[in-house]
Amino acid sequence: MRFSHALPLLAALCLPATACAAPSASSAPTASAAGRPAPGYPVTIANCGHSYTFDRAPSRTVLMSGGAVGQVSALIALGVEGRIVANAQSYGASDVPGRAEAIERLPKVKINKGSYDISRESMLSLRPDFVIGTTGFDFDAQNGYATRQELLGIGANTWLPDSTCGGPGTIKGTQTIDDSYEMLRELGRVYGVSGRAEELIARSRERIEQIAAKVKDGPRPKVMYVIPGMEMGAAEFSSIGANGMWNDIFAKAGGVNAFAGVTDAVFANLSKEQVARTDVDAVVLINWRNPDPDGEARKLFAQFPHWRAARDNRYVVLSDSAYLGPDNAIAVERIAKMLHPEKF
Amino acid sequence: MRLRVDNVSVALGGVPVLHDVCLVAEPGQVVGLVGPNGSGKSTLLRTVYRSLRPGSGTVRLGERDVWAWSSREAARRIAAVLQDDTTPAGMTVAEVVELGRTPHHALFTRHAPGDEAAVREAMARARVSAMAERAFGSLSGGERQRVLLARALAQEPRLLVLDEPTNHLDIQARFELLDLIRELGTTTLVVMHELDLAARVCDSLVVLHGGRVAAAAPALDALTPDVLRHVFGVRARAARDPDGIVRLTYAAQPLAGVPVAGTR
Amino acid sequence: MLRRIPLTVCLVALAAALVAGMLVAIGVGSVNIPLAETWDIVTGRPGDPVNAKIIWEYRIPRVLLAALAGAGLSVAGAVLQALVTNPLADPYVLGVSSGASAGAVLVMTLGSAAAGGLGVSSAAFAGAMLAALVVFALGQRRGRLTPTRLVLSGVAVGYVLLAATSYLQLQADPEELRKVMFWMLGSVAGAQWGHLPAVAVAVLACTAGLVLYGRRLNALITGEEPATALGVDVRRARVGLLVVSSLLTGTVVAVAGGIGFVGLMVPHLVRMAFGTDHRRLLPLATLVGALYMVLVDLLSRTVDRPAELPLGIFTAVFGAPFFVWLLRREER
């Protein structure tokens, strides 16, 4: 099925910036076994209407959703990758040197084809004490996955980005770089490495501010965000980013999304004609398991030679820095340098 | 029991098929229903075994209108052997005959007393007892018809309705089957194609033509040269031979210029 | 020959086989749990809590759901075959499954408001019923059912519903789509204890009723007119059986998704081995269907351990060649 590669990644891409719901009265039981909490604990995290209490840093973390890398990247950036017992997230490429290899070295787990997740029996047998997912799909019993409640029953807390707690149709709003910071901050608290998290956030902020300052007064070229080879809908061009974190990244990098206005959805589902009619000054091409991203750019420009982007051959290939994760600053910098080379 | 059809008219899909058909089968009589294709024979049968309600007129068995019974009540009195029977080849003869007990059971009852005896007797009368365990599909055409007849007899009917029972049978099997029907002594309404056979086996014949009764009488009186010519489109003559059997003698050529009635 | 063996003996033997198959299916899975420990857990002795959860919360309901789904689809198939006097009938061929799928997918993608407030299960049932009614209406000629016409109508209606389902899928967001696709391929991976009672009641009650109705089903397969002459009110019987088979199909499809060919294959195998009498066929098909599905599900979660594959793939791989073989056999 052509959708199958595309979907898990989408989960990571679609995280909007809606505020988290208030913790419900039904507080979840503590996750750890009996015993006194470790120093600095208990830590309580509100997530998806429940609160989850950690008596110590998780030591058996399982990462769900095989097409995303935002969460696993965050754990690596936080320096807690040693606490991962099984990782289903993989991507094959990264904008951070050595990151793909670091992910590759983590303990792997066999995932269900098509859905990129870990079946419930396998999940329980991994005996996790913390499971991180990307959307409610990963914990939906109907899909054959262990529910958050069931995992609590074996002493495992769970975490999802608050905006994608529910199942289908719960994604709304447009995410920003702050969502990445929020993820780092929460996971930092869970693992007792808040200092490291704040440091990462501060460094990213500083770098992005510097770049934004450089390009502030320049023109605002129209940028297309596209994931070649990924199909999200029926139309010819179904993986053009419309409303996502990339819009925030473009804004900081001195550009504007050429396709932001065509739909309220996260992705635009467009025909070739509609794409041809849009002015595109530059292209951000996301390499998602793509063997030849430069070839994809050539193909795109051959189809739309009237674009300024095609005349100037202006594009940049990014992979994991342009959506939820610890490295949005890289995306901001590389896009800014492509759009405004004269400022650097 | 006496079967009495009075002024039955039927239209199928708005097309009139039977017009004021009347016939009587006295108790124990075998009444043959003959006529060209499309003359309404099978339709008339359907009104008798309660598959088709006549637009007007009545079908009575004894004194009761067959439509006053439920379908199950009617099937305990009227049994039929029909042409488009799809009994699976894998069923055994005993299983097929046992189906005849269906109307003797209420919706969810399992076994009734007398079921076995009735099945055994029906098989004996139809001379299929020896093949009880054989698969229905492994039988010859004549054997199959006898098995279906046994199934009908297992219903313990007062009236048998047979739709061209000798169709596709070998000549020997035809005579065997017809002799059997004669022996049963049950009131029988039988549709037949071959006039010779009909004349030979039936106490009286009802000739249908375009949905109307063209003649109703013992064979010799019913199959007049006129009826044969106008209804069947043949030049022929029926006569009783020295053995007392009615035979038809056909002219060499079919009748020129007379359209064969009923064929469309 | 098996058909001469008394029904009780066959039932006991098959029930024993089913229990054995279910125990194996509980003992083996995508995760390895030693058999001794599994046995301890099943017999209620304290064991490792996580393994106990895997066995009690996941495997046992899953195996039970597989058994119920197999039984339900087999009985639905047997009934539809009697109903239309056509051995090639099954919920898939007659478009009933497609109707159930369309109903369920409608609710899954557009929400229950789109289906007049029905839940996934009720929408599946309603879809199954509607599809069956349309197929029957189209399959009639002058008020009488023509088997060929019926099967062709089923195929046509099935395609229309498939198109509708595809259209709904295109409206879905990717997350819903993942769900729908998973569901369309059929799986009991999501089995939960909470689902079982409704399915169990539907399957067991329908099967029990149909067994008692077996005599009439036997009469029905002799054809519309002969069955009438045997005292069966064919029209009423068909409506009733249609409701029952739609109920069975809808219930099973709602919880286990699109599992094809079971309703075609199992009744035939049972017929060939044990004879055509529905009073034997139905209870035996229930057990054989249950066993078949338990084993297919076992296969689906062990061939690529610890990943799991959809059931529909396996039932199609086994069922489609069987269908072709059956077609050729029917032609003779």
pLDDT above 70 for B255: no
Q: Which residue of A has its CA nearest to C195?
A: A142
**Selection from A164, A159, A178 nearest residue A72 by Cα:** A159
CB within 8 Å: B86 and C219: no
CB within 8 Å: A124 and C31: yes
pLDDT tens digits, residue range B104-161?
A: 987 666 667 788 899 999 999 999 999 999 999 999 988 999 999 999 999 999 999 9
Chain A residue numbers with beta carbons less than 8 Å from the beta carbon of C111 are 169
Exposure b/e, B156-188, CB count within 10 A at least 16 = b: bbbbbbbbbbbeebeeebbbbbbebbeebebbb
CB within 8 Å: C187 and A144: yes
* Structure-model confidence comparison of residues A289 and B191, the more confident one: B191
CB within 8 Å: C142 and B13: yes
Chain C residue numbers with beta carbons less than 8 Å from the beta carbon of B155 are 230-231
- Written as one letter, the residue type at C207 is T
pLDDT at A180: 92
Assign A62 a pLDDT band (cuts: 50, 70, 90). Answer: very high
Shortest Cα distance, chain A CAs vs residue C74, angstroms = 23
pLDDT above 70 for B53: yes
CB within 8 Å: C31 and A125: yes
Chains B and C share 3 or more Cβ pairs within 8 Å: yes
pLDDT above 80 for C120: no
pLDDT at A205: 96
C3 has a chain A CB within 8 A of its CB:
no
CB within 8 Å: A7 and C174: yes
Instruction: Name chain A's partners: 3 or more CB pairs within 8 A.
Output: C
Chain C residue numbers with beta carbons less than 8 Å from the beta carbon of B88 are 221, 271, 276
The predicted model gives B58-77 an average pLDDT of 92
Shortest Cα distance, chain C CAs vs residue B168, angstroms = 19
- Which of C69-83, C127-141, C170-184 has the lowest average pLDDT? C170-184
Chain C residue numbers with beta carbons less than 8 Å from the beta carbon of B91 are 275-277
> What is the distance of C-alpha A338 from the center of its chain?
23
pLDDT at C305: 76
Cβ atoms < 10 Å from Cβ of A5: 17
Using CB atoms, pick whichever of C30, C109, C307 lies closest to residue A113: C307
pLDDT above 50 for C157: yes
* Structure-model confidence comparison of residues B228 and A168, the more confident one: B228
Calpha distance A258→A240 (Å, rounded): 10
Shortest Cα distance, chain C CAs vs residue A208, angstroms = 31
**CB contact residues (below 8 A), chain C span 151-210, against chain A:** 170, 172-179, 181-183, 187, 189-190, 192
- Which of C142, C150, C221, C222 is the best mutation test for B, with the most CBs of B within 10 A? C222
- Which of A42-46, B41-45, B51-55, C106-110 has the lowest average pLDDT? C106-110
Assign A35 a pLDDT band (cuts: 50, 70, 90). Answer: low
Of the CA atoms within 13 Å of residue C170, those in its CB half-sphere come to 9
**CB contact residues (below 8 A), chain C span 256-315, against chain A:** 301, 304-309
pLDDT tens digits, residue range A298-335?
A: 999 998 999 999 999 999 999 999 988 999 999 999 99
pLDDT above 50 for A26: no
Calpha distance B104→B106 (Å, rounded): 7
Whether the bond between A42 and the residue before it is cis, its omega within 30 degrees of 0, is yes
Most confident of B244-253, C127-136, C171-180: C127-136
What percent of chain A shows pLDDT beyond 70? Answer: 83
What is the three-state SS of A288-329?
CCCCCHHHHHHHHHHHCCCCHHHHHCCEEEECCCCCCCCCHH
Residue B259 DSSP symbol: P
Using CB atoms, pick whichever of A3, A153, A154 lies closest to residue C177: A3
Q: Which residue of C has its CA nearest to A266?
A: C173
CB within 8 Å: A121 and C309: no
What percent of chain B shows pLDDT beyond 70? Answer: 93
Calpha distance A324→A331 (Å, rounded): 11
- What pTM did the predictor assign? 0.81
pLDDT tens digits, residue range A86-105?
A: 999 887 789 999 999 999 99
Residue B255 DSSP symbol: P
CB within 8 Å: C179 and A144: no
The predicted model gives A232-236 an average pLDDT of 62
pLDDT above 60 for C297: yes
pLDDT above 60 for A38: yes
Calpha distance A180→B94 (Å, rounded): 78
The predicted model gives A208-213 an average pLDDT of 95
Cβ atoms < 10 Å from Cβ of A271: 12
Residues on chain A bordering chain C, Cβ-to-Cβ distance under 8 angstroms? 1, 3-4, 6-7, 10-11, 109-115, 119-122, 124-125, 127, 135, 137, 140-144, 150, 153-154, 167-169, 171, 232-234, 265
* Structure-model confidence comparison of residues B66 and C177, the more confident one: B66
Q: Which positions ≥6 away from B83 have C-beta within 8 Å? A: B42, B163, B164, B167
CB within 8 Å: A6 and C29: no
